Structure 1
Amino acid sequence: MNKANRLYSNIHIRNTMYTVTGVGVIANAFLLLVHISLHITGHRPKPTDLPIGLLALIHLAILLINGFIASDIFIPGGRWDDLTCKLLIYLHRLMRGFSICATCLLSVLQAITLSPRSSCLARFKHKSSLHNLCFLLFLWVIYSLFSSHLFISIAATPNWTSDNFMYITESCSFIPMTFFLRHSLSTLLTFREVSFIGIMAFSNGYMVALLCRHKRQSQHLHSTSPSPVSSPELRATQTILLLMSCFVVMSILDSIVSYARITLKDDPIFYCIQILVTHSYALFSPLVFICTAKRIIVIFRYMWEKTVNISVCSGE
Protein backbone atom coordinates (compact mmCIF):
# COMPACT_ATOMS: atom_id res chain seq x y z
CA MET A 1 0.00 0.00 0.00
CA ASN A 2 1.87 3.07 -1.32
CA LYS A 3 -0.55 5.92 -0.83
CA ALA A 4 1.85 7.85 1.39
CA ASN A 5 4.99 7.52 -0.73
CA ARG A 6 4.44 10.93 -2.30
CA LEU A 7 4.45 12.49 1.18
CA TYR A 8 8.07 11.50 1.84
CA SER A 9 9.28 14.04 -0.73
CA ASN A 10 6.73 16.75 0.09
CA ILE A 11 8.97 19.07 2.07
CA HIS A 12 6.40 21.84 2.54
CA ILE A 13 3.76 19.63 4.20
CA ARG A 14 6.39 17.89 6.34
CA ASN A 15 7.95 21.15 7.54
CA THR A 16 4.53 22.66 8.24
CA MET A 17 3.50 19.60 10.23
CA TYR A 18 6.63 19.61 12.39
CA THR A 19 6.55 23.41 12.82
CA VAL A 20 2.96 23.32 14.09
CA THR A 21 3.86 20.44 16.43
CA GLY A 22 7.00 22.17 17.74
CA VAL A 23 5.39 25.55 18.35
CA GLY A 24 2.37 23.90 19.97
CA VAL A 25 4.56 21.83 22.30
CA ILE A 26 6.51 24.91 23.42
CA ALA A 27 3.38 27.04 23.95
CA ASN A 28 1.50 24.35 25.89
CA ALA A 29 4.55 23.48 27.98
CA PHE A 30 4.99 27.14 28.92
CA LEU A 31 1.29 27.52 29.79
CA LEU A 32 1.41 24.35 31.90
CA LEU A 33 4.53 25.51 33.77
CA VAL A 34 2.91 28.89 34.48
CA HIS A 35 -0.16 27.25 36.02
CA ILE A 36 2.01 24.89 38.05
CA SER A 37 4.07 27.84 39.35
CA LEU A 38 0.88 29.76 40.22
CA HIS A 39 -0.35 26.76 42.20
CA ILE A 40 3.00 26.29 43.99
CA THR A 41 3.36 29.97 44.90
CA GLY A 42 -0.09 29.97 46.51
CA HIS A 43 -1.99 32.28 44.16
CA ARG A 44 -5.74 32.29 44.65
CA PRO A 45 -7.09 29.75 42.17
CA LYS A 46 -9.90 30.59 39.75
CA PRO A 47 -12.62 28.09 38.74
CA THR A 48 -11.22 28.02 35.21
CA ASP A 49 -7.61 27.36 36.26
CA LEU A 50 -8.11 23.59 36.43
CA PRO A 51 -9.53 23.12 32.90
CA ILE A 52 -6.98 25.55 31.42
CA GLY A 53 -4.08 23.67 33.05
CA LEU A 54 -5.56 20.35 31.95
CA LEU A 55 -6.02 21.67 28.41
CA ALA A 56 -2.34 22.60 28.28
CA LEU A 57 -1.34 19.13 29.53
CA ILE A 58 -3.75 17.35 27.18
CA HIS A 59 -2.69 19.37 24.14
CA LEU A 60 0.95 18.75 25.01
CA ALA A 61 0.25 14.99 25.01
CA ILE A 62 -1.75 15.24 21.75
CA LEU A 63 1.04 17.06 19.95
CA LEU A 64 3.72 14.66 21.20
CA ILE A 65 1.66 11.68 20.02
CA ASN A 66 1.11 13.49 16.74
CA GLY A 67 4.88 13.73 16.40
CA PHE A 68 5.09 9.93 16.53
CA ILE A 69 2.27 9.63 13.99
CA ALA A 70 3.94 12.16 11.68
CA SER A 71 7.19 10.19 11.86
CA ASP A 72 5.39 7.18 10.40
CA ILE A 73 4.00 9.38 7.62
CA PHE A 74 7.13 11.28 6.57
CA ILE A 75 10.03 9.00 7.57
CA PRO A 76 10.23 5.85 5.40
CA GLY A 77 11.44 2.49 6.64
CA GLY A 78 9.67 2.02 9.97
CA ARG A 79 6.73 -0.36 10.35
CA TRP A 80 4.41 -0.57 13.34
CA ASP A 81 2.74 -3.78 14.36
CA ASP A 82 -1.00 -4.18 14.85
CA LEU A 83 -0.95 -3.50 18.62
CA THR A 84 1.14 -0.33 18.24
CA CYS A 85 -1.29 1.01 15.63
CA LYS A 86 -4.30 0.37 17.83
CA LEU A 87 -2.74 1.83 20.98
CA LEU A 88 -1.28 5.00 19.43
CA ILE A 89 -4.32 5.94 17.36
CA TYR A 90 -6.73 5.11 20.18
CA LEU A 91 -4.65 7.08 22.71
CA HIS A 92 -4.58 10.00 20.30
CA ARG A 93 -8.38 9.91 19.95
CA LEU A 94 -8.80 9.63 23.73
CA MET A 95 -6.64 12.72 24.26
CA ARG A 96 -8.64 14.60 21.63
CA GLY A 97 -11.79 13.57 23.46
CA PHE A 98 -10.29 14.81 26.73
CA SER A 99 -9.53 18.13 25.01
CA ILE A 100 -13.14 18.50 23.85
CA CYS A 101 -14.46 17.63 27.32
CA ALA A 102 -12.10 20.10 29.03
CA THR A 103 -13.11 22.79 26.55
CA CYS A 104 -16.76 22.04 27.23
CA LEU A 105 -16.15 22.23 31.00
CA LEU A 106 -14.28 25.50 30.60
CA SER A 107 -17.21 27.02 28.74
CA VAL A 108 -19.73 25.83 31.35
CA LEU A 109 -17.60 27.06 34.28
CA GLN A 110 -17.23 30.51 32.78
CA ALA A 111 -20.98 30.69 32.20
CA ILE A 112 -21.51 29.77 35.87
CA THR A 113 -18.94 32.36 36.99
CA LEU A 114 -20.61 35.06 34.93
CA SER A 115 -24.18 34.22 36.02
CA PRO A 116 -25.86 36.60 38.53
CA ARG A 117 -26.73 35.53 42.06
CA SER A 118 -30.40 35.25 41.19
CA SER A 119 -29.67 32.67 38.50
CA CYS A 120 -30.26 28.96 39.01
CA LEU A 121 -26.58 28.44 38.12
CA ALA A 122 -25.41 30.47 41.13
CA ARG A 123 -25.53 27.43 43.42
CA PHE A 124 -22.73 25.83 41.36
CA LYS A 125 -20.35 28.77 41.82
CA HIS A 126 -18.71 27.45 44.97
CA LYS A 127 -18.12 23.89 43.83
CA SER A 128 -14.60 22.67 44.51
CA SER A 129 -12.01 21.66 41.94
CA LEU A 130 -12.65 18.03 42.89
CA HIS A 131 -16.29 18.34 41.75
CA ASN A 132 -15.14 19.91 38.48
CA LEU A 133 -12.59 17.14 37.95
CA CYS A 134 -15.22 14.45 38.58
CA PHE A 135 -17.56 16.10 36.09
CA LEU A 136 -14.72 16.27 33.55
CA LEU A 137 -13.95 12.57 34.00
CA PHE A 138 -17.66 11.78 33.63
CA LEU A 139 -17.76 13.64 30.30
CA TRP A 140 -14.57 11.92 29.17
CA VAL A 141 -15.89 8.43 29.95
CA ILE A 142 -19.04 9.12 27.96
CA TYR A 143 -16.99 10.50 25.05
CA SER A 144 -14.53 7.59 25.16
CA LEU A 145 -17.23 4.94 24.95
CA PHE A 146 -17.97 6.12 21.42
CA SER A 147 -14.31 5.58 20.41
CA SER A 148 -14.01 1.95 21.51
CA HIS A 149 -14.66 0.78 17.94
CA LEU A 150 -11.11 1.87 17.02
CA PHE A 151 -9.69 -1.33 18.55
CA ILE A 152 -11.65 -3.25 15.93
CA SER A 153 -11.53 -0.90 12.94
CA ILE A 154 -7.77 -0.12 13.00
CA ALA A 155 -5.09 -2.60 11.97
CA ALA A 156 -1.57 -2.69 10.57
CA THR A 157 -1.56 -1.99 6.85
CA PRO A 158 -1.36 -5.23 4.85
CA ASN A 159 1.48 -5.78 2.40
CA TRP A 160 -0.85 -5.93 -0.60
CA THR A 161 -2.31 -2.89 -2.29
CA SER A 162 -6.01 -2.29 -1.76
CA ASP A 163 -8.19 0.77 -2.25
CA ASN A 164 -10.62 -0.46 0.41
CA PHE A 165 -8.27 0.39 3.30
CA MET A 166 -8.44 4.03 4.44
CA TYR A 167 -5.04 5.59 5.04
CA ILE A 168 -3.97 6.64 8.56
CA THR A 169 -0.18 6.30 8.42
CA GLU A 170 2.23 4.21 6.40
CA SER A 171 1.84 1.42 8.97
CA CYS A 172 -1.83 1.78 9.95
CA SER A 173 -5.15 1.77 8.12
CA PHE A 174 -8.87 1.61 8.74
CA ILE A 175 -10.30 -1.82 7.97
CA PRO A 176 -13.13 -1.80 5.41
CA MET A 177 -16.56 -1.90 7.06
CA THR A 178 -19.98 -2.79 5.79
CA PHE A 179 -22.37 -0.05 4.69
CA PHE A 180 -24.61 -0.53 7.73
CA LEU A 181 -21.75 -0.52 10.25
CA ARG A 182 -20.06 2.48 8.67
CA HIS A 183 -23.19 4.60 8.67
CA SER A 184 -24.18 3.47 12.17
CA LEU A 185 -20.79 4.59 13.52
CA SER A 186 -21.04 7.85 11.59
CA THR A 187 -24.45 8.52 13.14
CA LEU A 188 -23.20 7.81 16.67
CA LEU A 189 -20.08 9.93 16.24
CA THR A 190 -22.10 12.78 14.76
CA PHE A 191 -24.50 12.61 17.71
CA ARG A 192 -21.53 12.74 20.10
CA GLU A 193 -19.97 15.78 18.44
CA VAL A 194 -23.28 17.62 18.12
CA SER A 195 -24.06 16.97 21.80
CA PHE A 196 -20.79 18.42 23.08
CA ILE A 197 -20.83 21.34 20.66
CA GLY A 198 -24.46 21.94 21.67
CA ILE A 199 -23.45 22.25 25.34
CA MET A 200 -20.72 24.73 24.40
CA ALA A 201 -23.08 26.67 22.13
CA PHE A 202 -25.70 26.89 24.89
CA SER A 203 -23.20 28.14 27.48
CA ASN A 204 -21.69 30.59 24.98
CA GLY A 205 -25.13 31.90 24.04
CA TYR A 206 -25.90 32.35 27.73
CA MET A 207 -22.68 34.31 28.24
CA VAL A 208 -23.36 36.51 25.21
CA ALA A 209 -26.87 37.23 26.52
CA LEU A 210 -25.46 38.23 29.92
CA LEU A 211 -22.85 40.48 28.32
CA CYS A 212 -25.45 42.15 26.11
CA ARG A 213 -27.71 42.74 29.10
CA HIS A 214 -24.81 44.19 31.06
CA LYS A 215 -23.95 46.48 28.15
CA ARG A 216 -27.54 47.75 27.92
CA GLN A 217 -27.60 48.43 31.65
CA SER A 218 -24.33 50.35 31.43
CA GLN A 219 -25.52 52.47 28.52
CA HIS A 220 -29.10 53.28 29.58
CA LEU A 221 -29.14 53.22 33.36
CA HIS A 222 -25.82 55.00 33.97
CA SER A 223 -25.81 53.48 37.42
CA THR A 224 -23.09 54.40 39.87
CA SER A 225 -23.34 51.05 41.65
CA PRO A 226 -20.61 48.47 41.15
CA SER A 227 -20.89 46.56 37.89
CA PRO A 228 -22.22 42.99 38.25
CA VAL A 229 -19.64 41.92 35.67
CA SER A 230 -16.10 42.93 36.57
CA SER A 231 -13.38 43.67 34.06
CA PRO A 232 -11.40 40.42 34.66
CA GLU A 233 -14.57 38.39 34.15
CA LEU A 234 -15.24 40.27 30.92
CA ARG A 235 -11.74 39.54 29.63
CA ALA A 236 -11.99 35.87 30.59
CA THR A 237 -15.39 35.57 28.94
CA GLN A 238 -14.18 37.20 25.73
CA THR A 239 -11.18 34.85 25.68
CA ILE A 240 -13.35 31.76 26.11
CA LEU A 241 -15.83 32.98 23.48
CA LEU A 242 -12.91 33.40 21.10
CA LEU A 243 -11.72 29.86 21.85
CA MET A 244 -15.19 28.40 21.39
CA SER A 245 -15.55 30.17 18.04
CA CYS A 246 -12.18 28.77 16.96
CA PHE A 247 -13.19 25.30 18.12
CA VAL A 248 -16.46 25.38 16.16
CA VAL A 249 -14.70 26.63 13.00
CA MET A 250 -12.05 23.91 13.30
CA SER A 251 -14.75 21.26 13.78
CA ILE A 252 -16.56 22.42 10.64
CA LEU A 253 -13.34 22.44 8.62
CA ASP A 254 -12.48 18.99 9.96
CA SER A 255 -15.85 17.66 8.76
CA ILE A 256 -15.36 19.24 5.32
CA VAL A 257 -11.88 17.75 4.90
CA SER A 258 -13.10 14.33 6.12
CA TYR A 259 -15.84 14.40 3.50
CA ALA A 260 -13.28 15.41 0.86
CA ARG A 261 -11.12 12.42 1.81
CA ILE A 262 -14.02 10.03 1.24
CA THR A 263 -15.16 11.56 -2.05
CA LEU A 264 -11.62 12.01 -3.50
CA LYS A 265 -10.48 8.40 -2.96
CA ASP A 266 -8.67 8.95 0.35
CA ASP A 267 -5.96 11.30 -0.90
CA PRO A 268 -3.18 11.38 1.78
CA ILE A 269 -2.65 15.10 1.07
CA PHE A 270 -6.13 15.74 2.43
CA TYR A 271 -5.30 13.57 5.43
CA CYS A 272 -2.31 15.79 6.25
CA ILE A 273 -4.51 18.87 5.87
CA GLN A 274 -6.99 17.24 8.25
CA ILE A 275 -4.22 16.65 10.81
CA LEU A 276 -3.18 20.31 10.59
CA VAL A 277 -6.79 21.45 10.99
CA THR A 278 -7.50 19.22 13.98
CA HIS A 279 -4.28 20.23 15.73
CA SER A 280 -4.60 23.96 15.06
CA TYR A 281 -6.79 24.27 18.17
CA ALA A 282 -4.02 22.71 20.30
CA LEU A 283 -1.69 25.37 18.89
CA PHE A 284 -4.14 28.29 19.02
CA SER A 285 -5.58 27.84 22.52
CA PRO A 286 -2.36 28.22 24.59
CA LEU A 287 -1.34 31.27 22.56
CA VAL A 288 -4.71 32.89 23.31
CA PHE A 289 -4.40 32.16 27.04
CA ILE A 290 -0.81 33.43 27.14
CA CYS A 291 -1.65 36.66 25.30
CA THR A 292 -4.86 37.49 27.20
CA ALA A 293 -4.23 36.37 30.79
CA LYS A 294 -2.89 39.29 32.80
CA ARG A 295 -1.12 37.05 35.32
CA ILE A 296 0.69 35.18 32.55
CA ILE A 297 1.70 38.42 30.83
CA VAL A 298 3.21 39.69 34.10
CA ILE A 299 5.13 36.44 34.61
CA PHE A 300 6.33 36.42 30.99
CA ARG A 301 7.45 40.06 31.24
CA TYR A 302 9.33 39.31 34.47
CA MET A 303 11.07 36.31 32.90
CA TRP A 304 11.98 38.34 29.82
CA GLU A 305 13.42 41.24 31.86
CA LYS A 306 15.37 38.81 34.02
CA THR A 307 16.80 37.09 30.94
CA VAL A 308 17.79 40.44 29.42
CA ASN A 309 19.47 41.56 32.65
CA ILE A 310 21.42 38.31 32.89
CA SER A 311 22.60 38.62 29.30
CA VAL A 312 23.62 42.28 29.85
CA CYS A 313 25.53 41.40 33.04
CA SER A 314 27.30 38.50 31.36
CA GLY A 315 28.22 40.79 28.43
CA GLU A 316 29.84 43.25 30.77
Structure 2
Amino acid sequence: MAASDVTVGVIFLAQIFVGSLGNSSLLLHFLVLDFTGGRVRHTDLILKHLTVANLLTLLCRGVPQTVAALGMKVFLSDLECKLLFYVHRVGRSVSIGSTCLLSSFQAITISPGDSRWAALKEKALRYMCSSTRLNWILYGLLNVMFPVVMTGNWSHRNITCLKDFGYCSAARHDTTTDSLFAALLSFPDAVCVGLMLWSSSSMVYILHRHKQRMQHVHKVRSPKSSPEPPKPSSSW
Protein backbone atom coordinates (compact mmCIF):
# COMPACT_ATOMS: atom_id res chain seq x y z
CA MET A 1 0.00 0.00 0.00
CA ALA A 2 1.39 3.39 -0.97
CA ALA A 3 2.11 6.00 1.70
CA SER A 4 -0.16 8.49 -0.09
CA ASP A 5 -3.11 6.09 0.19
CA VAL A 6 -2.51 5.69 3.91
CA THR A 7 -2.32 9.47 4.34
CA VAL A 8 -5.59 9.99 2.46
CA GLY A 9 -7.25 7.23 4.50
CA VAL A 10 -6.11 8.78 7.79
CA ILE A 11 -7.39 12.22 6.68
CA PHE A 12 -10.77 10.73 5.75
CA LEU A 13 -10.91 8.88 9.07
CA ALA A 14 -10.14 12.06 11.03
CA GLN A 15 -12.86 13.96 9.18
CA ILE A 16 -15.38 11.22 9.86
CA PHE A 17 -14.50 11.14 13.56
CA VAL A 18 -14.65 14.89 14.09
CA GLY A 19 -17.78 15.37 11.98
CA SER A 20 -19.65 12.44 13.53
CA LEU A 21 -18.70 13.52 17.04
CA GLY A 22 -19.89 17.09 16.48
CA ASN A 23 -23.17 16.17 14.82
CA SER A 24 -23.90 13.38 17.33
CA SER A 25 -23.31 15.75 20.24
CA LEU A 26 -25.64 18.32 18.72
CA LEU A 27 -28.32 15.71 18.05
CA LEU A 28 -27.99 14.37 21.59
CA HIS A 29 -28.41 17.91 22.92
CA PHE A 30 -31.69 18.30 21.04
CA LEU A 31 -32.94 14.92 22.24
CA VAL A 32 -32.15 15.83 25.86
CA LEU A 33 -34.09 19.08 25.44
CA ASP A 34 -37.07 17.15 24.09
CA PHE A 35 -37.13 14.65 26.95
CA THR A 36 -36.46 17.16 29.73
CA GLY A 37 -38.89 19.78 28.42
CA GLY A 38 -36.19 22.43 28.05
CA ARG A 39 -36.48 25.63 26.08
CA VAL A 40 -36.67 24.78 22.40
CA ARG A 41 -36.23 27.35 19.65
CA HIS A 42 -38.17 27.30 16.42
CA THR A 43 -35.03 26.58 14.39
CA ASP A 44 -34.17 23.48 16.45
CA LEU A 45 -36.46 21.34 14.30
CA ILE A 46 -34.52 22.24 11.16
CA LEU A 47 -31.22 21.71 12.97
CA LYS A 48 -32.29 18.20 14.01
CA HIS A 49 -32.93 17.22 10.40
CA LEU A 50 -29.69 18.90 9.37
CA THR A 51 -27.60 16.91 11.88
CA VAL A 52 -29.23 13.62 10.83
CA ALA A 53 -28.56 14.40 7.16
CA ASN A 54 -24.94 15.29 7.94
CA LEU A 55 -24.43 12.03 9.83
CA LEU A 56 -25.87 9.99 6.96
CA THR A 57 -23.61 11.78 4.50
CA LEU A 58 -20.50 11.27 6.62
CA LEU A 59 -21.08 7.62 7.39
CA CYS A 60 -22.44 6.42 4.04
CA ARG A 61 -19.76 8.17 1.98
CA GLY A 62 -16.88 8.67 4.39
CA VAL A 63 -16.57 5.12 5.75
CA PRO A 64 -16.47 3.25 2.40
CA GLN A 65 -14.26 5.94 0.88
CA THR A 66 -11.82 5.58 3.79
CA VAL A 67 -11.75 1.80 3.41
CA ALA A 68 -11.19 2.16 -0.34
CA ALA A 69 -8.37 4.66 0.25
CA LEU A 70 -6.67 2.16 2.56
CA GLY A 71 -6.48 -0.31 -0.31
CA MET A 72 -9.61 -2.46 -0.04
CA LYS A 73 -11.46 -1.84 -3.31
CA VAL A 74 -13.94 -4.72 -3.42
CA PHE A 75 -15.85 -5.04 -0.15
CA LEU A 76 -19.45 -4.02 -0.98
CA SER A 77 -22.06 -6.15 -2.65
CA ASP A 78 -24.29 -4.83 -5.39
CA LEU A 79 -27.19 -4.17 -3.02
CA GLU A 80 -24.97 -2.57 -0.35
CA CYS A 81 -23.44 -0.27 -2.93
CA LYS A 82 -26.85 0.84 -4.20
CA LEU A 83 -28.17 1.44 -0.67
CA LEU A 84 -25.13 3.34 0.62
CA PHE A 85 -24.86 5.58 -2.42
CA TYR A 86 -28.59 6.32 -2.38
CA VAL A 87 -28.63 7.19 1.35
CA HIS A 88 -25.53 9.33 0.89
CA ARG A 89 -27.09 11.29 -1.98
CA VAL A 90 -30.34 11.80 -0.07
CA GLY A 91 -28.46 12.92 3.05
CA ARG A 92 -26.29 15.31 1.04
CA SER A 93 -29.31 16.84 -0.72
CA VAL A 94 -31.33 17.13 2.50
CA SER A 95 -28.36 18.82 4.15
CA ILE A 96 -28.33 21.49 1.43
CA GLY A 97 -32.12 21.84 1.57
CA SER A 98 -32.16 22.10 5.38
CA THR A 99 -29.47 24.78 5.30
CA CYS A 100 -31.58 26.67 2.76
CA LEU A 101 -34.68 26.37 4.96
CA LEU A 102 -32.73 27.54 8.01
CA SER A 103 -31.26 30.62 6.35
CA SER A 104 -34.58 31.55 4.72
CA PHE A 105 -36.44 31.18 8.02
CA GLN A 106 -33.88 33.32 9.83
CA ALA A 107 -34.13 36.03 7.18
CA ILE A 108 -37.93 36.09 7.48
CA THR A 109 -37.78 36.08 11.29
CA ILE A 110 -35.50 39.11 11.65
CA SER A 111 -37.28 41.12 8.95
CA PRO A 112 -38.82 44.34 10.34
CA GLY A 113 -42.54 44.54 10.97
CA ASP A 114 -43.16 47.05 8.19
CA SER A 115 -41.47 45.01 5.48
CA ARG A 116 -43.21 42.92 2.84
CA TRP A 117 -41.88 39.73 4.48
CA ALA A 118 -43.58 40.44 7.81
CA ALA A 119 -46.72 38.57 6.71
CA LEU A 120 -44.64 35.41 6.18
CA LYS A 121 -43.47 35.18 9.80
CA GLU A 122 -46.55 33.38 11.08
CA LYS A 123 -46.79 31.21 7.97
CA ALA A 124 -43.14 30.20 8.25
CA LEU A 125 -43.73 28.86 11.77
CA ARG A 126 -46.87 27.06 10.65
CA TYR A 127 -45.29 25.27 7.70
CA MET A 128 -41.87 24.55 9.18
CA CYS A 129 -42.62 20.93 10.12
CA SER A 130 -44.22 20.13 6.77
CA SER A 131 -41.34 21.81 4.93
CA THR A 132 -38.74 19.60 6.61
CA ARG A 133 -40.75 16.47 5.80
CA LEU A 134 -41.25 17.57 2.20
CA ASN A 135 -37.50 18.10 1.99
CA TRP A 136 -36.85 14.40 2.71
CA ILE A 137 -39.64 13.18 0.40
CA LEU A 138 -38.60 15.39 -2.50
CA TYR A 139 -34.94 14.43 -2.43
CA GLY A 140 -35.78 10.79 -1.75
CA LEU A 141 -37.77 10.68 -4.98
CA LEU A 142 -35.29 12.80 -6.91
CA ASN A 143 -32.34 10.49 -6.16
CA VAL A 144 -34.22 7.26 -6.86
CA MET A 145 -32.25 6.81 -10.10
CA PHE A 146 -28.98 6.18 -8.26
CA PRO A 147 -29.83 2.60 -7.17
CA VAL A 148 -30.57 1.86 -10.84
CA VAL A 149 -27.19 3.00 -12.21
CA MET A 150 -24.95 2.04 -9.28
CA THR A 151 -23.29 -1.37 -9.04
CA GLY A 152 -20.61 -3.04 -6.97
CA ASN A 153 -17.09 -3.32 -8.35
CA TRP A 154 -17.23 -7.09 -8.34
CA SER A 155 -20.58 -7.26 -10.16
CA HIS A 156 -20.27 -5.36 -13.42
CA ARG A 157 -23.10 -7.27 -15.10
CA ASN A 158 -21.35 -7.14 -18.51
CA ILE A 159 -21.38 -3.33 -18.44
CA THR A 160 -18.35 -2.08 -20.34
CA CYS A 161 -18.73 1.68 -19.80
CA LEU A 162 -18.39 2.38 -16.08
CA LYS A 163 -17.46 5.31 -13.87
CA ASP A 164 -15.36 4.12 -10.94
CA PHE A 165 -15.91 5.74 -7.51
CA GLY A 166 -13.31 3.57 -5.78
CA TYR A 167 -15.74 1.36 -3.89
CA CYS A 168 -18.68 1.43 -6.35
CA SER A 169 -19.20 1.93 -10.05
CA ALA A 170 -21.87 3.68 -12.09
CA ALA A 171 -23.05 2.75 -15.53
CA ARG A 172 -22.51 5.44 -18.15
CA HIS A 173 -25.11 6.24 -20.78
CA ASP A 174 -25.08 8.49 -23.80
CA THR A 175 -24.06 12.11 -23.39
CA THR A 176 -27.59 13.48 -23.68
CA THR A 177 -28.97 11.20 -20.96
CA ASP A 178 -26.08 11.92 -18.61
CA SER A 179 -26.46 15.68 -19.18
CA LEU A 180 -30.20 15.61 -18.49
CA PHE A 181 -29.66 13.52 -15.38
CA ALA A 182 -26.97 15.90 -14.11
CA ALA A 183 -29.18 18.93 -14.83
CA LEU A 184 -32.13 17.36 -13.03
CA LEU A 185 -30.02 16.71 -9.93
CA SER A 186 -28.26 20.07 -10.01
CA PHE A 187 -31.34 22.26 -10.44
CA PRO A 188 -32.71 21.89 -6.85
CA ASP A 189 -29.23 22.45 -5.43
CA ALA A 190 -28.81 25.58 -7.56
CA VAL A 191 -32.19 26.89 -6.37
CA CYS A 192 -31.22 26.26 -2.73
CA VAL A 193 -27.86 27.99 -3.17
CA GLY A 194 -29.62 30.96 -4.76
CA LEU A 195 -32.09 31.18 -1.87
CA MET A 196 -29.25 30.96 0.64
CA LEU A 197 -27.42 33.82 -1.09
CA TRP A 198 -30.63 35.88 -1.07
CA SER A 199 -31.38 35.19 2.58
CA SER A 200 -27.80 35.83 3.68
CA SER A 201 -27.69 39.11 1.77
CA SER A 202 -31.06 40.10 3.24
CA MET A 203 -29.89 39.40 6.79
CA VAL A 204 -26.71 41.44 6.27
CA TYR A 205 -28.78 44.34 4.88
CA ILE A 206 -31.35 44.16 7.70
CA LEU A 207 -28.69 44.05 10.41
CA HIS A 208 -26.79 46.91 8.76
CA ARG A 209 -29.93 49.09 8.70
CA HIS A 210 -30.68 48.18 12.30
CA LYS A 211 -27.17 49.20 13.32
CA GLN A 212 -27.53 52.54 11.55
CA ARG A 213 -30.88 53.20 13.26
CA MET A 214 -29.49 52.37 16.68
CA GLN A 215 -26.53 54.68 16.13
CA HIS A 216 -28.92 57.47 15.11
CA VAL A 217 -31.12 56.91 18.17
CA HIS A 218 -28.05 56.90 20.41
CA LYS A 219 -26.86 60.20 18.96
CA VAL A 220 -30.29 61.82 19.37
CA ARG A 221 -30.73 60.69 22.97
CA SER A 222 -27.21 61.52 24.09
CA PRO A 223 -27.11 64.87 26.03
CA LYS A 224 -25.35 67.73 24.33
CA SER A 225 -22.16 68.81 25.97
CA SER A 226 -22.74 72.08 27.82
CA PRO A 227 -20.03 74.74 27.83
CA GLU A 228 -17.78 74.72 30.89
CA PRO A 229 -18.90 77.38 33.42
CA PRO A 230 -16.39 80.16 34.09
CA LYS A 231 -14.19 79.77 37.12
CA PRO A 232 -14.94 82.20 39.98
CA SER A 233 -12.29 84.88 40.44
CA SER A 234 -10.43 84.70 43.70
CA SER A 235 -10.85 87.69 46.05
CA TRP A 236 -7.98 88.96 48.22
TM band (smaller chain): 0.7 to 0.9
CA deviation digits over 1:139-166, x for unaligned, max 9? Answer: 3333333322212221122578998421
Stretch deviating more after TM superposition (131-140 or 16-25): 131-140
Q: Distance in 1 between the 2:80 and 2:148 partners?
A: 13
Gaps of 5+ in 2: 222-236
- CA drift of 1:103 comes to 0.8
Q: 2 CA distance for matches of 1:59 and 1:142?
A: 17
Aligned residue among 10, 32, 40 for 1:15: 10
How many angstroms does 1:27 deviate by?
Answer: 1.0
Q: Is the 8 A contact 2:53 2:95 kept in 1?
A: yes
Q: How does 1:87-98 map to 2 (within 5 A)?
A: 87-98=83-94
Partner-residue secondary structure (3-state), 2:127: helix
Once residues 147 and 159 of structure 2 are traced to their aligned partners in structure 1, the CA distance between those partners, rounded to angstroms, is 21
Q: Hey, what does 2:27 align to over in structure 1?
A: 32
Partner of residue 57 from structure 2, selected from 55, 62, 66: 62
Q: Structure 1 unaligned runs (5+)?
A: 1-5, 226-316
Corresponding residue pairs, total: 219
Conserved 8 A contact 2:142-2:185: yes
Choose 1 or 2 for highest CA Rg: 2
Residue by residue, what CA displacement relative to the aligned partner does 1:233-270 show, whole Å, maximum 9, x if unpaired? xxxxxxxxxxxxxxxxxxxxxxxxxxxxxxxxxxxxxx
Q: Verify the 8 A CA contact 2:98 2:132 in the aligned structure 1.
A: yes
The Cα of 1:107 is off from its aligned counterpart by: 0.7
Q: Which amino acid aligns with 2:166?
A: T
How many percent of aligned residue pairs carry the same amino acid?
A: 30
Question: Corresponding residue for 1:175?
Answer: 171
Return the match for 2:145 from 134, 143, 149: 149
C-alpha deviation, 1:39, in angstroms: 2.6
- TM value normalised by structure 1: 0.61
Q: Match of 1:205, SS?
A: helix
The 5 A counterparts of 1:271-310 are none
> Residues 66-81 of structure 1 correspond to what in structure 2 (within 5 A)?
66-70=61-65, 72-73=67-68, 74-76=70-72, 78-81=74-77
Quick check: which one's helix share is greater?
A: 1
Indicate the residue corresponding to 1:165 in structure 2. Answer: 162
The Cα of 1:115 is off from its aligned counterpart by 1.2
Shift of 1:120: 3.5
Letter in structure 2 aligned against 1:203: S
3-state SS in 1 of match to 2:42 = coil
- 59, 82, 85: which is aligned to 1:86? 82
RMSD after superposition: 2.8
Match of 1:205 among 201, 204, 215: 201
Q: Tell me whether 16-25 or 152-161 shows the greater mean CA deviation.
A: 152-161
SS at match of 1:222: helix
* Residues 164, 176 of structure 1: 8 Å contact kept: yes
Rounded to whole Å, the distance in 1 between the matches of 2:106 and 2:98 is: 12
8 Å contact kept, 1:8–1:75: no
Offset at residue 167 of structure 1 (A): 1.5
Q: Which has the higher contact order (CA 8 A, sep 6+)?
A: 1
